[in-house]
Amino acid sequence: MRIRQDQLSAFGHLAEWTFVSTLADALRREFPEAQEIDIHVFKAVVHQEVLRAKTFGFVTQIHCASYVVCSWVLGRDFYKTFPAAEYILNSVDLSPAEKADWLVDWTQTMFRELEGV
C-alpha cells in the first residue's frame, strides 16, 4: 500500500487541527476569560498563534504550545512589546527547545515579580 502525497497532507492538516483544538480547550479550561470568545473564533486565533510560533522556528507541539500560552497571557504581539523576547525568538543561535524554555521561564519570572509588587 502506498500513501499519496495528498493523503499525507490531509493527515497533517487533521493532526494540526486536532492539536489546535486540544490546545484551545486547555486554554479555555485554564483561563475562564477565554470562554467568553466564540469557540470557532478562539480556535482560529489559536491556529494563527501556532502558525506564528512556527515562524520563530518552533516545530514540536510542546514548543508551539509554550509560545501560544505565553501569547495568551502576555498578548498576541508580546514579542513586539518586549525587546528581549523578540531577540530570543529571532535568535538563530538558539534551538527551538532553548527558545521555548527561555520564554516560559521569562514569562513565569515576570508574573512572579508582578505578584510581589
pLDDT value at residue 115: 85
pLDDT digits (tens, 9 = 90+) for 102-116: 999 999 999 898 887
| Cα gap 11→17, rounded to integer Å | 10
* Radius of gyration, alpha carbons of the chain: 16
* C-alpha distances in Å from residue 102, one per residue of 18, 28, 84, 116: 26, 24, 10, 21
pLDDT value at residue 55: 96
pLDDT digits (tens, 9 = 90+) for 51-95: 999 999 999 999 999 999 999 999 999 999 999 999 999 999 999
pLDDT average, residue stretch 23-48: 95
pLDDT band at residue 9 under the 50/70/90 scheme = low
